[in-house]
Chains A and B, each alone.
Chain A
Amino acid sequence: ETGVTQSPTHLIKTRGQQVTLRCSSQSGHNTVSWYQQALGQGPQFIFQYYREEENGRGNFPPRFSGLQFPNYSSELNVNALELDDSALYLCASWGEDYGYTFGSGTRLTVV
């Protein structure tokens, strides 16, 4: 059973809307990363936070933003949703003891 929890499990939004996805990481894991996985593809790195600061970003536009909180939770925000944003969004926390632990993901559908 994963120590990383994501909510909601599924979400349907309309093009142009904004969405917030949430992740609760394992205690003590100061690094959290977000990935986007389109259908039939491997996950692609969106960005990473370490101790509440962004310290790495993939090839995603600024309308993808994030926050990390002191209680090891984090958020992924996407503004002005586009149809191509439909994907599985995965959160992963990293710790020295085990490496990466992934959550079960949020399936976002943009219509």
Chain B
Amino acid sequence: SQQGEEDPQALSIQEGENATMNCSYKTSINNLQWYRQNSGRGLVHLILIRSNEREKHSGRLRVTLDTSKKSSSLLITASRAADTASYFCATDAGATNKLIFGTGTLLAVQP
């Protein structure tokens, strides 16, 4: 079963706009990670935020984590057509580093 839900399921924006995706999860976590997937291929690791962190930046990416609400958001600023992909959040909750993925957000950036 999936750990969490992502919202929205699909998002279409123009190049240059910002894209925000949200993720909710159910159990306590060690960390939360965001991944990108192009056309059903492999997952690319974007960013990891630990449970004691509230915000993290990496290039055009900004991730927030609210453990009291069990939610996270991913902001992509100044989007590009190449950002078109599916984005997944994944939580790492146990000692075995098993990841539990959300349902994903399909982002389409129109040139």
Q: What is A's interface to B at a CB cutoff of 8 Å?
A: 2, 4, 31, 33, 35, 37, 39, 41-45, 48, 50, 55-56, 58-59, 88, 90, 92, 94, 98-105, 107
Contacts and interface: CB of A to CB of B under 8 A. Distances in A.
A31 B99 CA distance: 13
Nearest to A99: B48
B73 to A, nearest CB: 17
Interface stretch (B13-21, B39-47, B63-71, B76-84): B39-47
- For the residues of A in contact with B, the DSSP-based class is strand
Nearest to B44: A102
Interface residues of B, number: 23
B11 interface: no
B62 to A, nearest CB: 19
B40 A42 contact: no
Given A43-B101, A56-B98, A102-B44, 8 more contacts: A42-B88, A42-B101, A42-B104, A45-B99, A92-B43, A99-B45, A100-B99, A104-B42
Contacts of B58: none
B29 to A, nearest CB: 14
B101 A48 contact: no
B45 A59 contact: no
Given A42-B104, A43-B88, A43-B101, A104 B45 contact: no
13 contacts: A41-B103, A41-B104, A42-B102, A43-B99, A43-B101, A48-B96, A56-B96, A56-B98, A88-B40, A90-B42, A90-B43, A99-B45, A102-B45
Given A88-B40, A100-B33, A48 B98 contact: yes
Interface string B30-62: 000101000011111100100000000000000
Q: Choose among B90, B96, B102 the residue with the greatest number of A CB atoms under 10 Å from its CB.
A: B96
A30 B90 CA distance: 21
B96 A2 contact: no
